[in-house]
Amino acid sequence: MANASGFFTPSVPRLRSKIQPSIGVSRSGFCFSGGISRRVVCSSAIEGAEKHVSPSESRMPKLVRKGCKLVGCGSAVPSLSVSNDDLSKIVDTSDEWISVRTGIRNRRVMSGKESLKKLAVEAAQKALEMADFDPNDLDLILMCTSTPEDIFGSAPQIQRELGCRNSPLAYDITAACSGFVLGLISAASHIRGGGFRNVLVIGADGLSRFVDWTDRGTCILFGDAAGAVLVQACDAEEDGLLSFDLHSDGEGGRHLGAPINDNETDELLGSNGSALDFPPKKSSYSCIQMNGKEVFRFAVRCVPQSIESALEKAGLVSGNVDWLLLHQANQRIIDAVATRLDFPQEKVISNLANYGNTSAASIPLALDEAVRSGKVKPGHTIAAAGFGAGLTWGSAIIRWG
Ligand code: ACO
């Protein structure tokens, strides 16, 4: 089991003052090793890949700002809505069973020409619009997803679709339902330690593509969506990420996964080392396999501990926090965590009934709805926590706006 936890004052400013001079940031990235900075230069033989990159344009080290704040959010969901009654026509279930056991009533499922990339771009554009921000000024795009439409990741394609002329660095983060919280902390780390100023964090997943629609134990839970947040460098007094707490446990990973199907690699090799059956068969992933009870137990045990730890590092108690915003997996998990942490029902954000579990999208989707409806106002503090496959889990105490 591994964990990482942090809050950025007062320890990080000391660290930052040590590393700041040795960080070199170029168009293609930054590299820091043993106090010696090395410029990472992008060279490519692919036509067009170099068109935005010229040495004079290279991103130079910038003043490292001590804070980062969330200044815009957006979300997008597919148009097809699938109700519990719809599901009861394809598996042996009922609206009553699903809503009582999970709190879910509807979920959105990608269909026709919809794609995860399009949803992610739409959510990103809305977040940029809210912040009145030009995509050309982005430094970094983090696409948090476990279901990219290209095995090598989607972030650079989203960069292209957003029309960012300055080619910000863009890469994917795979951490299932904890992906968005991980993305947020990564954005903050890039801003505080790497000289990046404007980071777009997208959480998007299309788990409907990896669900066994004949398995009533899992197909009732998941939906597709995308959400995005723009994170910006700011002065320490305005800091919007007050603390965080992150964990992973590969041992518990057996309870939830969608592993690659066995491609019979053992049979490829003969006893004398020669190839028996070459080339290997094309790989594919299995559908989501989950031990629901174990995942439930893990969530109600580990999530409150993580939030308590993050609150303590921020010097807060739940009474000081305006909102509890958990990964939207099961209303019973949300209620159990809220009760354990003494959050009254009216301080709990939940839109699970309408969308089901949208994995990395669930937190930014719920945040976006809460901000746009006027529930979450500038200056409000939010205890956010993600948890899921890996196992991974973590929390962040954030201030909106
Ligand atoms: N409709 C009707 N009956 C059902 C259904 C269904 N959809 N699903 C299961 N049942 C039946 C079972 O067969 C079982 O019947 P039995 O008693 O005759 O054997 C009975 O209901 C109870 O089944 P359980 O699995 O024990 O039900 P449980 O109360 O645990 O609820 C659930 C299942 C909803 C999946 C719950 O365990 C849960 O939400 N777990 C957490 C899931 C979660 O949070 N996942 C996060 C994933 S995040 C990520 O990283 C992708």
Confidence of residue 143 (pLDDT cuts 50, 70, 90): very high
Site to substitute for ligand 1 among 101, 102, 205, most atoms within 8 A of C-beta? 101
Q: What percent of the chain is predicted at pLDDT more than 70?
A: 82
pLDDT exceeds 80 at position 55? no
Q: What mean pLDDT do residues 241-250 have?
A: 96
∠ CA(7), CA(10), CA(14), 5° rounding? 110
**pTM reported for the whole predicted model:** 0.86
Confidence of residue 317 (pLDDT cuts 50, 70, 90): very high
Residue 233: name the closest of 190, 201, 202, 203 by CA: 190
Confidence of residue 283 (pLDDT cuts 50, 70, 90): confident
Locate the ligand 1 atom nearest the alpha carbon of residue 216 and give its number: 7
Locate the ligand 1 atom nearest the alpha carbon of residue 330 and give its number: 39
Residue 322: name the closest of 387, 373, 397 by CA: 397
374-401 pLDDT, tens per residue? 999 999 999 999 999 999 999 999 999 9
Chain center to CA of 137: 22
pLDDT exceeds 80 at position 256? yes
pLDDT at residue 39, as a whole number: 34
- Tell me if 257 CB under 6 Å of ligand 1: no
pLDDT at residue 265, as a whole number: 57
pLDDT at residue 186, as a whole number: 97
Locate the ligand 1 atom nearest the alpha carbon of residue 218 and give its number: 35
pLDDT exceeds 90 at position 279? no
- The number of helices, as runs of H, and strands, as runs of E, in the chain is 10, 17
* Residue 249 neighbours by CB distance under 10 Å: 16
> For the chain, how are helix, strand and coil distributed in percent, rounded to 5?
35, 25, 40
pLDDT at residue 64, as a whole number: 59
pLDDT at residue 151, as a whole number: 94
pLDDT exceeds 90 at position 263? no
Query: Hey, whose CA ends up nearest to atom 8 of ligand 1?
Result: 217
Query: What CATH number has the domain spanning 68-251+288-399?
Result: 3.40.47.10
Residue 203: name the closest of 73, 321, 317 by CA: 73
Domain ranges of the chain: 68-251+288-399
Give dist(CA 189, CA 183) in Å, integer: 10
157-202 pLDDT, tens per residue? 999 999 999 899 999 999 999 999 999 999 999 999 888 999 999 9
Mean pLDDT for the chain overall: 86
Q: What percent of the chain is predicted at pLDDT more than 90?
A: 76
Residue 68: name the closest of 321, 242, 245 by CA: 242
Residue 164: name the closest of 190, 142, 180, 141 by CA: 141
- Tell me if 297 CB under 6 Å of ligand 1: no
Chain center to CA of 393: 11
pLDDT at residue 14, as a whole number: 32
Biggest CA-to-CA distance, the chain: 69
* SS3 labels along 260-277: ECCCCHHHHECCCCCECC
- Tell me if 102 CB under 6 Å of ligand 1: yes
pLDDT exceeds 90 at position 297? yes
- Tell me if 329 CB under 6 Å of ligand 1: yes
Give dist(CA 40, CA 55) in Å, integer: 12
pLDDT at residue 261, as a whole number: 87
Confidence of residue 17 (pLDDT cuts 50, 70, 90): very low
pLDDT exceeds 60 at position 1? no
Per DSSP bridges, beta strands 140-144 and 106-109 are unpaired
- Tell me if 258 CB under 6 Å of ligand 1: no
- Specify the DSSP element, H or E, that contains 367: helix 362-372
Strand order in the sheet with 24-26: 24-26, 29-33, 36-37
Site to substitute for ligand 1 among 174, 247, 296, 362, most atoms within 8 A of C-beta? 296
Residue 78: name the closest of 227, 225, 228 by CA: 225
Q: What mean pLDDT do residues 341-362 have?
A: 98
Query: Hey, whose CA ends up nearest to atom 35 of ligand 1?
Result: 292
Query: Hey, whose CA ends up nearest to atom 42 of ligand 1?
Result: 292
Confidence of residue 26 (pLDDT cuts 50, 70, 90): very low
Give dist(CA 179, CA 201) in Å, integer: 10
337: phi then psi, degrees, rounded to nearest 5: -65, -40
Q: What mean pLDDT do residues 345-364 have?
A: 98
Question: Do the beta carbons of residue 162 and residue 121 sit within 8 Å?
Answer: yes
Confidence of residue 36 (pLDDT cuts 50, 70, 90): very low
pLDDT exceeds 70 at position 22? no
76-85 pLDDT, tens per residue? 999 999 999 9
| Active site (catalytic) residues | 177, 327, 357
Give dist(CA 313, CA 242) in Å, integer: 8
Token duo for residue 18: 């040590």
Query: Hey, whose CA ends up nearest to atom 31 of ligand 1?
Result: 101
* Residue 234 neighbours by CB distance under 10 Å: 17
